[in-house]
Amino acid sequence: MWKWIGIAVIVIILLVLAILLSRIRWKLDIAKHDNDDRAHLEIRFLYGLIKINYDIPAILIASLQKGLLYRLDRDKNIHKTDASVDSGNINADKIKQFIHDVRVLLKGTKALHRWLRHTLAHVMISKMEWSTNISLADAAYTATSTGVLWGLKTTLIGYASSFVRMNCTPKLFVVPYWADRLRFTTTLTCEGNISLGYLSFSMLTLAYRIWRVPGGPEAWRRVFSKKPIQHEG
């Protein structure tokens, strides 16, 4: 009897180790062709046995008064509702509320920024391809914008590499369209992974950091329950 119990314990330990040593892999695809915006996130873990797909909302600039408009097809997403399409606008009030929520979380967590940097340091980027085509309907403006985009891309990738581990050489392309009309297309493919074991440890660490701050759990609960929060003066 004890022999079988010992074997069962060993099997359970091996299964737990196999799970913790596995990696969460994700792939982000973003494509913008003039007014057509598409963004898709795929997450796989437990050696590919579980796969999650999420379509990120497309964002369009409406006006200074209305802000940014977003539209999302929910048919393929995890959190489905009765409506197949969700849409709305991101205005100044929502941006202010978001900034306030971030401040509340920072105040309700011990060294949240340090935890975030440590977690991102374990994220490995295995593929990065970013291609952009642009035309400003004028040869001189198009040439100038091409150089600006090159500088912007290299700056963003360099800044991101200070937080995550780049295990690949990013492939960046900026191609000018010599056309007599405005045109902008861009495609971004990014693949990466992180250890499931470390992510589990990181979540436990985050919970401990929240628990150490008086009122920390309540602050997180209020923010993610979408309840109104009174702004501090």
pTM exceeds cut of 0.95: no
Give the per-residue pLDDT at 80: 46
Tens of pLDDT, residue by residue, the chain (233 residues): 777 888 888 889 888 888 888 999 999 998 887 666 778 889 998 888 889 888 776 555 544 445 555 555 544 444 444 444 455 566 677 778 888 888 888 888 898 899 999 999 999 999 999 999 988 888 888 889 999 999 999 999 999 999 999 999 999 999 998 878 888 888 999 999 999 999 999 999 999 999 999 988 898 988 888 654 444 44
HEC string of the chain? CHHHHHHHHHHHHHHHHHHHHCEEEEEEEEEEECCEEEEEEEEEECCCCEEEEEECCEEEEEECCCEEEEEEECCCCCCCCCCCEEEEEECHHHHHHHHHHHHHHHHCCCCHHHHHHHHHCCCEEEEEEEEEEEEECCHHHHHHHHHHHHHHHHHHHHHHHCCCEECCCCEEEEEECCCCCEEEEEEEEEEEEEEHHHHHHHHHHHHHHHHHCCCHHHHHHHHHCCCCCCCCC
Give the per-residue pLDDT at 67: 52
Give the per-residue pLDDT at 163: 93
Give the per-residue pLDDT at 181: 81
